[in-house]
Every structure is written in structure tokens, then in C-alpha cells.
Structure 1
Amino acid sequence: MFTFFLKKKTKFEKILFRSVFRGIGQMCFCGSEWGGLAMFLAMFLYDWKAGVLALSGSYFGALVSLLFGLDTSVIYSGLFSFNTALTMAGIGCIFATCNLQNILTAIWHCFVCICLQCSFSVVFSSAQLPSSSWPFNLCMVLFSVVAFRKKQKYIEFG
């Protein structure tokens, strides 16, 4: 199923499961999918909205990066799921109220986060540095600026 998106002959579901939970585990520097599953359960028990949004953000990051045809070893390690899980949980309910508009904004920022991570990977690869949480940080700054400007009613359309 969906093996035409992958360069290697690995199962789509196996890569998706491991990358999703490794992405959640990367929030606490845990590289295991079982540690990520424990992290998800802890987050879900503390605040179920944050847990569901982090899981959906991690799934979105893994799925979109697979559909873009990015390197499966990087996807498998959970690096594309890490920033999108943080972004979805942060914008969706941690730093803002949980409503439909903020969730749709979080989905958009997750897509921007994947594009930023691809570009940072290219820029930082010459120095052999990881992109770390730069995409998440830039998405949060962008969200904060737009939210502040919208609150102050400084946005002009047209």
C-alpha cells in the first residue's frame, strides 16, 4: 500500500508508525517510538486536546514528507514529525485557545514548518548541522506576530 511513494521497499505503515511516535518522542530527546508512545500517553492524560493535536501534527508531518518524497531515513528518525507535532500542539491549544480557526492555522503552519525544515536542511547541511527546532520557532514567531497585529487591529486588507 502506497509503496510507490517510497524509494526503498519498506512498509508504509511501519515507517508511518515509527516516524509519528519518534517525532513525539523527540520533544523530550527520546529517539525511540516506544518512548514517544509513552510521551503521547502522558501528554494525552494531562491534556487530551494537546495530545490529540500533537499526534495529528506528527502524523501530518510524516505523511506530507512521505508524499513529498523526502529522504526516508530522516522521516524514519522522526525529524519531520518533531517540528509539526510541536507546531500543531502549540498553535492549536497550548499558546492559544482551542477553536477551529486556530486548528486550521496550526495545519497551515505545519505545512510551512515542513517547507522551512527542507530549506534549513539544505542550508545547514554544508556545515553538517541539524535544523533542530528552527522551523517550529519561526512558525511560532510568525503566529505570534500575526495574532498580536490582529488583536491590535493593524491588519489592512486590499
Structure 2
Amino acid sequence: MGIGKTKGTRKRFPFLLATMRGISQVFLIGNWVTGLLILAAITITSFKLGLMAFLSAAIGTLFGRLGGGHPVSVERGLYGYNPMLTGMALFLFLEGPVSWGIALFGAAVSAAFTASVMRFLQPAGMPTLTFPYIVTTWLLMLSSYKFEAFKVTDKLVPQHLSDWKLEIAGEIHWLSAFLDGAGQIFFLQGILAGLLLFLGIFVADWKMGLYAIAGNFIGMFTAYILGGEHTLIDAGLYGYNAILTALAVGVVFRDGANRLSLYSTMISCVLTVVFIGSVDTILLPFGLPALTMPFALSTSIFIGARLMMR
């Protein structure tokens, strides 16, 4: 695509491109082609989920525009990724006649929450990450216990910690588990979806692609060495948070003058796996998914430490 055509496309479809970049910002990337590949991966897995992803990201982008968000932040898609993930999560984890409406409402709330978190964290030099998505999703899921019009899906079962048993047995299909590591960021499983997602990262930046692969491997093998459940490793549930951590700590928020960045990235990915275990344990009585909280916690710790100890 030529430069003139790219500029013309930007002039003709600014809202659509900002929405696509919002989708790509889940990977901390501001590239509309990456966003298109992510949306394709979601849509081929589930058309309804793909539609929800696009509408939710569009709601976030529209909120940023109409609400007077900084034009550069809106164009980069920084108002779109948290609403997108929120809409997808609520669409999957809630049931009932108004579940679609609740999912889109959650996307709008997440957009407002994103603006609030940006207001408080940006002056301190800290990124927003996915905290708005996590908190909004958890709160709306918990509210379902008090209303009849929507409820949490039966797939999420609250459990008492004393009744929990660790099941290690099970075969791990390492290739599919590796690809599902990327897919689980968007609640996806499947070889084609995983390939499209990794392709989306490499299209934007080959270095980020290598870090995503490394983070995925570190997450999977750390969980295996520590004796994590094989079924969870096989489903990619120990890889997706580590991928995001590797991208954030290793590339996006890396201090170029810090020679320990590579080592801190490896350690942060290991810590992310440990946090997966702790967050899952805390949430057992509520039947809530961990989402990307392990990534957000581990990344915030290392970025904050770098700001204080340059």
C-alpha cells in the first residue's frame, strides 16, 4: 500500500481505523492491520463474538471522541481495548434476555473507567493496562447474583477452597497449547485463531513477535515445572498473561538504557504465572475468571520499580 493511499484511507475512515487500533491495543500495539487480524481471528471462531468485539471497541472509540478525549489517544485506540475485552467477557460469561445489553453497557462503563484511570495514572508515568476491563467485568458479573434478568453462566462455579483439589494428570499438546496461549487473551482456542494472532503481532513489529513467543514459552514451562494443572496448560491458560507481560515489560515500556531489561522481563513472566495461581485461588469462592489481572499486577510492579530505581 502506497503512502498516499494510506493517508487517504486515514482521511476517509478515521473512526474505523481508530477502532481497529483500539482492538490491536490489547497487544499494546497501535496498528490497524493488527486489529483487523485480531478481529478476523475472533470472527472465524464465533461470528457473534466478533460482532460484540467490534461493537464494544467502537463504543469505546466513540466515547473518547464525543467525550473530548485527547485526539492522539483516541486515534491510537487507547479508549477501545478495555471496552472491547469487557464486552467480550460479559457476552461469554453472562446469560439471560438482557445479556447482550449488559455486555454493551459494560463496554461503555469500561470506556468511562478507562478515562478515569488514565487521569490518575498518566501523571505518575504508569500505564492504564487492563485494570478498567478487569474491574468492570468483575463488578457486573457479581451484580448478576442480585438480579433475575441476567446471571453468570453455569460454566463458572463458585467453590470453597477446602473442596479444591489439584489435578495434575492429563496430556499436554504443546503446539496447540502454545497457539491457544495467544487465543486465550480473547477467550479463543484453535490453531487458525492462534496463527492469525501471532501474525498480527509480527506484522506490527517482529521484535514484539519474538517477545510474545518467549513470554508464552516461559509461562507454559514455568507452570509445568511448578506442577500446574496439565489441562490448564493444554488450554493455553498459563500462556496468555505471560505474553502480555513480555510485550509490556520487555518492549513497550522498556527503558532502553537499562541493561537488566531482558532479565526483568523473564522474571516478570515467571511472577505472572505465580500470580495466576494466587488470583485464581482468591476468586474460587466467587466463581470469577482471573482475566488479565496477573499480567496487570506483574507489569505494574516492574514498571513502577523501574520508575523509582532507574
TM-score when scaled to structure 2?
A: 0.43
Output aligned runs, 1:1-158, within 5 Å: 7-8=169-170, 10=171, 12=172, 15-97=173-255, 101-151=260-310
5+ long unaligned stretches in structure 2? 1-167
Q: Which runs of 4+ in 1 moved over 6 A?
A: none
> Which amino acid letter does the alignment assign opposite residue 246 of structure 2?
M
Q: Name stretches of at least 5 consecutive residues in structure 1 with no aligned partner.
A: 1-5, 152-158
- Whole-Å Cα distance in 2 between the matches of residues 128 and 106 of structure 1? 30
CA distance in 1, matches of 2:201, 2:210: 9
Question: Percentage identity across aligned positions?
Answer: 24
CA deviations 1:57-80 (Å, max 9, x no partner) are: 011111111222211121122111
Normalising to structure 1: TM-score of the pair?
Answer: 0.81
Query: C-alpha root-mean-square deviation of aligned residues, in Å?
Result: 1.8
Report if aligned partners of 1:23, 1:79 keep a CA contact under 8 Å in 2: yes
> Of the two, which has the highest radius of gyration?
2
Q: Of the two structures, which has the highest relative contact order with CA contacts closer than 8 Å and spacing of 6 or more?
A: 1
| Number of equivalent positions | 142
SS at match of 2:239: helix
CA, structure 1 residues 128+51, in 2 after alignment: closer, same or farther (shift >3 Å)?
Answer: same
Amino acid at match of 1:139: S
Shift of 1:116: 0.8
User: SS at 2:169's partner residue?
Assistant: coil
Counterpart AA for 2:267: W
In structure 2, how many angstroms separate the alpha carbons of the residues matched to 1:67 and 1:150?
31
